[in-house]
Chains A and B, each alone.
Chain A
């Protein structure tokens, strides 16, 4: 009964949405409203106005930087949420999966992983720094940092990885995203423009362009570091950080 109702409801929804899809302007047409109103300005003047050759990054950080600030706050909130839900205490279930899985990796695979992780970290730095001009950026690079930490945890064990990035360090790194936006935005206000205007007070136009690029890169780095730290912390929290730490110490 429930299944029939659900199928009917979902079919009705699908019919409505497909009807909408059929009525939408043809995909990829240059005359579409989306390609007429705002987008041409981004494409034509983006590189010189926003200071990025990668126009998506220009929209993300400059034209709509406020959205990105809120998005960074979403990440912080999600991390706080994971901490809020899981806490750090031991719960009714005696052991989580990480306690049981204590298979030692061979020396070959461990060294291979160390090499691999170092290259991942280099790549992520590259992705973060080139974000304003080429595909890439803080979020992508930060995600790569997180992936590196995860691979290292799987191969080297929890304690050894966690030792490198202790909680107190991560707590500071996690605040860099909002911090970068707040500082850069406030510099804009001090120079007499609005919040999140990438400009410095009292310098000529040529220096202004350099300052703008520098500030964009500062924000990218802030986001990248923060995303990496948040990904690491969420991963550790889902592994039940404190328990695993105690287990490793006891072993």
Chain B
């Protein structure tokens, strides 16, 4: 438990991940599912950026001339920049699929659409 309090950021990220996952599997509304997926993605980004944290570290931008202060790890930040773009792309594609789904069924609810046998 003490270890969890030390790593509070990690714990919050993991719980957020599970909340997102629960939303994805339990909600039948496609838009809510997309929201759930986005929560999962944000949770992972939060986790990754927390990994790179250094106590009292500054943003990794060097000001020429000044002595460099301790800086946080830039690699996870670069990783999540890449991952954010991927998640945005996935969300855009999923939204367009949801739009198409709505045009076919007149609803974005997957359970209601199942009854639609046309």
Contact = CB atoms under 8 A, between A and B. Distances in A.
Interface of A: 2-3, 6-7, 10-11, 13-14, 17-18, 20-24, 26-30, 34-35, 38-39, 42-43, 46-47, 53-56, 58-60, 64, 67-68, 71, 74-75, 77-79, 81-82, 85-86, 91-93, 133-135, 139, 234, 237-238
B6 A59 contact: no
B67 interface: no
B77 A56 contact: yes
Is the contact region of chain B dominated by helix, strand, or loop, or is it mixed?
Answer: helix
A64 B78 contact: yes
A64 B74 CA distance: 12
Contacts of B1: 22
A52 to B, nearest CB: 9
A55 B96 CA distance: 36
A22 B12 CA distance: 11
Nearest to A7: B22
How would you classify the secondary structure of chain A's contact residues: helix, strand, loop or mixed? helix
Contacts of A14: 14-15, 18
Contacts of A35: 54, 73
Contacts of B15: 14, 18
A43 B74 contact: yes
Nearest to A53: B62
B60 A234 contact: no
Interface string B1-25: 1011011111101110110011001
B74 A55 contact: yes
Given A21-B10, A34-B76, A46-B62, 4 more contacts: A21-B4, A30-B54, A55-B62, A92-B104
